[in-house]
Chain A
Amino acid sequence: MTDTRIEPAATAPELIRNFCIIAHIDHGKSTLADRMLQLTGVVEARQMKAQYLDRMDIERERGITIKSQAVRMPWQVEGAPYALNMIDTPGHVDFSYEVSRSLAACEGAILLVDAAQGIEAQTLANLYLAMENDLTIIPVLNKIDLPSAEPERYAAELAQLIGCEVDDVLRVSGKTGEGVDALLDRVVRDIPAPVGDADAPTRAMIFDSVYDTYRGVVTYVRVVDGSLKPRERITMMSTLASHDLLEIGVISPEPKPSKGLGVGEVGYLITGVKDVRQSKVGDTVTLAGRRAQQSLGGYRDPRPMVYSGLFPVDGSDFPVLRDALDKLQLNDASLVFEPESSVALGFGFRCGYLGLLHLEIVRDRLEREFGLDLISTAPNVVYEVEMEDRKVYTVTNPSEFPSGKISEVREPVVAASILVPSEFIGTVMELCQERRGIMGTMNYLSETRVEMHYTLPLAEVVFDFFDQLKSRTRGYGSLDYEPAGEQAADLVKVDILLQGEQVDAFSAIVHKDKAYAYGVMMVGKLKNLIDRQQFEIPVQAAIGARIIARETIRAIRKDVLAKCYGGDISRKRKLLEKQKAGKKRMKNIGSVEVPPEAFIAALSTADDGSDKGKKK
């Protein structure tokens, strides 16, 4: 039963409030959003699935939000009805571009901080972005019901950060619902209504697009000027591609078709396209019949930061993998891939990702949704290799690293900001030094919390930097980074050889000072991971023709069962069948049989050869 004054397509901009929630991964954003849905009556308590807005299984399991959505909620303040659009934003650094587009669709942001933990580096980064976008910030401390909450301390920190009074910091509990209605009142009171020209040519910004099996691509937009109505023909300003609007509506919290969307409104479009790349985040939607002159700006193509090879354990699954990647790409415009063939692993794909989390999510989804058993090679960044003859190669795969006379190798670097309690300054400095970091400035956020700035090679960050930071700072350290150009570095390619055969999947580009350690670690791991075979197998690491490390897997001498117990031949046959099935899965490097698990374990980032890369 909606008040007619706030019906979609007929709501005055003065009655609209668009906001998002900026929060760190586990600071309770989804729980707070759930509570808002309940309080505004959009979702009844008994229908409430915890974390209603996070749709995919993976998101629910990891407790994080990958894809943002926008929910329209009614709220009354002093008798007047308002339409609140809550735009959910991803929290992880891999998705910073998506965050920036979500912010651009809002006039205000709730800055949500765990009252027991304080603000984290990524939140700080997103807060800066929000303030850059001139958003009105409502500071909120969450989880005040926790015994370990320190609201006084963190309210002071927040007040200092955004320049408000300590008393302006709201205190809520998403879990109990305490303070949430006051927060909704504040949203209406403090956040400005959207402003736009209803008569100007239509301009709407795409802040998300999602592929739905039944509906095709669902595009989320924020109307800035003009309006959108069903059955109109729209044009994407970056590509000038035109489509018919099959359906337009708002989410509340399920999609509800509407008569259209007016100035300041947020909703979804369905045009029947099947590929999210035709509906790009950041693009401007206009009308084909009356095109806007200028797009809203801020659009850029997604740019992969990290590459890794993906190979099916069973070579015959290659077509399944190709179809699966095609399908995932429908939903993930930032995933890029091209076929790759590896001597060791057969046919697969070289995939580009926004970052490591993105990589893990893609791999998880491929294994879970498509039933694939996959090997992913160690992630690497993009290198520029300049030869003495001035030719420049862009290397996204270590196996393509050119041989011959190289004059310079350049690698991408990032500007990292690390937030830690001050007692860990030394620890962080040590870690960054190990990772070839160059220290920049250091700011005290409060007496006990420090923000440290470093320039680090991206390659050092994508490996296991974040895990190390977390473990060495007992979980208190947080990290944010952004690309900061490239630098020349003393980098070499280390190859791994099994019985003299190079295993392309294990080649890595590493800093010269770390090449020996890398070689020793890899041959050591492989020695333990590869079963003894009927012949001796040398395992070597080499830079070019120079061997830098060597281990030997001795030949097996006994592989026979003593007897069949009481004529139990079935048992022996089943064992044989099992062994034969296992043999089929083996990858053959020359005549050496390597179990797929060895690739997974050897390529995982853990130094001890344990299977940490596969955290599930």
Chain B
Amino acid sequence: MPAPASSPAPASSLVERDFGVYIHVPFCRVRCGYCDFNTYAPSEVGGATREGYVSSALAEMALAGSVMAGDGRAASTVFFGGGTPTMLDAAALSSLLDGVRTTWGLARGAEVTTEANPDSVTRESLATLASSGFTRVSFGMQSAVPHVLATLERTHEPENVGRAVEWAREAGLSVSLDLIYGTPGESLSDWEASLDTAIALEPDHISAYALVIEPGTRMGAQLRRGQIEAVDLDTQADMYELAEERLAAAGYAWYEVSNWARTPAQVCRHNVAYWRSQDWWGIGPGAHSYLGPRVGASGEELSAERWWNVKHPRAYSDRLAAGESPEAEREPLTAEDLALESVMLRLRLAEGMPVGDLPERRPAEVARLVAEGLLDGRAALAGTLLLTLKGRLLADAAVRALT
């Protein structure tokens, strides 16, 4: 992470970006077969305890506070992801949120989300979270179809989702459901059943992610051995189109390629901040952080940079216990990198991006993408690059054409 500032200085007024905090909780009860995330089942943690994790995360916050001293921005969003954050009890999660308050402060109306496994919450734990400042919970529902959940090696009982959603709503939390499509063996009607089940629970927000089978996962190995068969891209496209159709009909509007919300107020602001290249600090093993171009404590210009922490919880806590930064690697970002990332990220949003923000003008490419039906023609005439439904499915191709 950036070196702590030698003396606090009021340099923050120049930064207009929002600031968010991501807290990575690297624990799961079991590791799912498709999971490529930095998470550890109890047998894999190698001596790192949950209690130890909480104090390490708080230590990293203290370190972050000294680095960002003088920045002055309070966190406008906080997101607990994993892993399974609810493997920590509500008190532990609350103490981490208190750490954020102490370090940066929480902005008024801040969005505070935690991911949760429907099996690892109770009415009480959700109420505790709400009362300690959490505003939002995102349940990993993934599917409503038993054989799909079995392939994903998800352990939760499908009926627990409805109960969890009920409790969360009682506690006054905004609710999101995460779905996965394109699981080996999942048919279009399986996916339709999952969509219908999710919609019937009336969450405020739904995410639908295509399953990506990474080579290093158990599922990757099964694929290589021919034990499972990947869902082809055409079927995945059908599934995405079905999701858009069902969700739109039920009143959910897409705001990012994989995300839909009932009202603009229910959009996940933390998520959108990533796509808009806002600043965030990632706390926890393997977490990524990003600070855009800014002015340092003594008035010097600092270029944008991204860094990420060591992955293993044990290494992470050892570093912090020794008073060292848990950073594994960092990457300074050039203006060209930022321009490229900006197109790559913003094009995915329903708000689109101004044509003038492209790194270089590409009128012919824009026209071609309109002609091919990837970009909305009206929006383009009005100066905005906006993906059509077809374009959302081919977003990466559009980005390649425009950068």
Within the complex, the shortest CB–CB distance from B234 to chain A, in Å, comes to 6
Residue contact B340 to A562, C-beta cutoff 8 Å: no
Nearest CB in chain B to that of A576: its residue: B344
B400 / chain A contacts, CB cutoff of 8 Å: 576, 579-580, 583
Nearest CB in chain B to that of A533: its residue: B397
Beta-carbon contacts of A526-568 to B below 8 Å, as 1s and 0s? Answer: 0000000011000000000000000000001111111111111
Known: A562-B209, A566-B38, A576-B344. A557 touches B237 (CB 8 A): yes
Beyond the given A566-B282, A580-B403, please list 16 additional residue pairs across the A-B interface where CB-CB is below 8 A: A534-B372, A535-B372, A558-B240, A559-B393, A559-B394, A559-B396, A560-B257, A560-B395, A561-B396, A562-B211, A562-B212, A566-B286, A568-B288, A569-B345, A573-B344, A576-B340
Residue contact A562 to B210, C-beta cutoff 8 Å: yes
Question: Which of A585-605 touch B at CB < 8 Å?
Answer: none
Within the complex, the shortest CB–CB distance from B21 to chain A, in Å, comes to 11
Pick 10 A–B contacts, CB within 8 A, sort by A.
Answer: A535-B372, A558-B240, A558-B394, A562-B210, A565-B37, A566-B81, A567-B288, A568-B288, A570-B288, A576-B340
Nearest CB in chain A to that of B234: its residue: A557
Beta-carbon contacts of B191-225 to A below 8 Å, as 1s and 0s? Answer: 00000000000000000011110000000000000
A368 / chain B contacts, CB cutoff of 8 Å: none
A152 within 8 A of B: no
Question: Which of B277-311 touch A at CB < 8 Å?
Answer: 280, 282, 286-290, 306, 308
A558 / chain B contacts, CB cutoff of 8 Å: 210, 233-234, 236-237, 240, 393-394
Residue contact B403 to A567, C-beta cutoff 8 Å: no
B337 within 8 A of A: yes
Closest 7 CB pairs of A and B: A557-B237, A560-B395, A562-B209, A558-B237, A567-B288, A562-B210, A558-B233
Nearest CB in chain A to that of B308: its residue: A568
Within the complex, the shortest CB–CB distance from A612 to chain B, in Å, comes to 25
Within the complex, the shortest CB–CB distance from B18 to chain A, in Å, comes to 14
Chain B contributes a number of interface residues (CB within 8 A of A) equal to 45
Residue contact B393 to A567, C-beta cutoff 8 Å: no
B237 / chain A contacts, CB cutoff of 8 Å: 557-558
B98 within 8 A of A: no
Beta-carbon contacts of B104-119 to A below 8 Å, as 1s and 0s? Answer: 0000000000000000
A572 within 8 A of B: yes
Known: A562-B258, A567-B282. A534 touches B394 (CB 8 A): yes
A467 within 8 A of B: no
> Which residue numbers of B lie inside 8 Å of A, CB to CB?
22, 24, 36-38, 81, 209-212, 233-234, 236-237, 240, 257-258, 274, 280, 282, 286-290, 306, 308, 331, 337, 340-341, 344-345, 372, 374, 390, 392-397, 399-400, 403
Beta-carbon contacts of A161-180 to B below 8 Å, as 1s and 0s? Answer: 00000000000000000000
Other-chain contact of B340, A534, A560, A561, A577 (Cβ < 8 Å): A577
Q: What separation, in Å, do the CA atoms of A570 and B282 have in the docked complex?
A: 14
A583 / chain B contacts, CB cutoff of 8 Å: 400
Q: What separation, in Å, do the CA atoms of A503 and B395 have in the docked complex?
A: 29
Residue contact A560 to B394, C-beta cutoff 8 Å: yes
B396 / chain A contacts, CB cutoff of 8 Å: 559-561, 576, 579
B258 / chain A contacts, CB cutoff of 8 Å: 562-563
Q: What separation, in Å, do the CA atoms of A563 and B275 have in the docked complex?
A: 10
B340 / chain A contacts, CB cutoff of 8 Å: 573, 576-577
Residue contact B274 to A567, C-beta cutoff 8 Å: yes
A572 / chain B contacts, CB cutoff of 8 Å: 344
A557 / chain B contacts, CB cutoff of 8 Å: 233-234, 237, 390, 393-394
A573 / chain B contacts, CB cutoff of 8 Å: 337, 340-341, 344
Q: What separation, in Å, do the CA atoms of A570 and B37 have in the docked complex?
A: 16
B212 / chain A contacts, CB cutoff of 8 Å: 561-562
B22 / chain A contacts, CB cutoff of 8 Å: 566-567
B274 / chain A contacts, CB cutoff of 8 Å: 564, 567, 569
Residue contact A560 to B393, C-beta cutoff 8 Å: yes
Within the complex, the shortest CB–CB distance from A178 to chain B, in Å, comes to 52
Most chain B CB atoms below 10 A, which of A535, A558, A565, A580: A558
Nearest CB in chain B to that of A573: its residue: B341
Other-chain contact of A570, B331, B390, B399 (Cβ < 8 Å): B331
Q: What separation, in Å, do the CA atoms of A583 and B365 have in the docked complex?
A: 14
Nearest CB in chain A to that of B38: its residue: A566
B345 / chain A contacts, CB cutoff of 8 Å: 569
Q: What separation, in Å, do the CA atoms of A563 and B212 have in the docked complex?
A: 10
Residue contact A556 to B233, C-beta cutoff 8 Å: yes
Within the complex, the shortest CB–CB distance from A555 to chain B, in Å, comes to 10
Q: What separation, in Å, do the CA atoms of A564 and B395 have in the docked complex?
A: 14
Q: What separation, in Å, do the CA atoms of A367 and B10 have in the docked complex?
A: 59
Nearest CB in chain A to that of B337: its residue: A573
A566 / chain B contacts, CB cutoff of 8 Å: 22, 24, 37-38, 81, 282, 286-288
Residue contact B394 to A569, C-beta cutoff 8 Å: no
Nearest CB in chain A to that of B208: its residue: A562
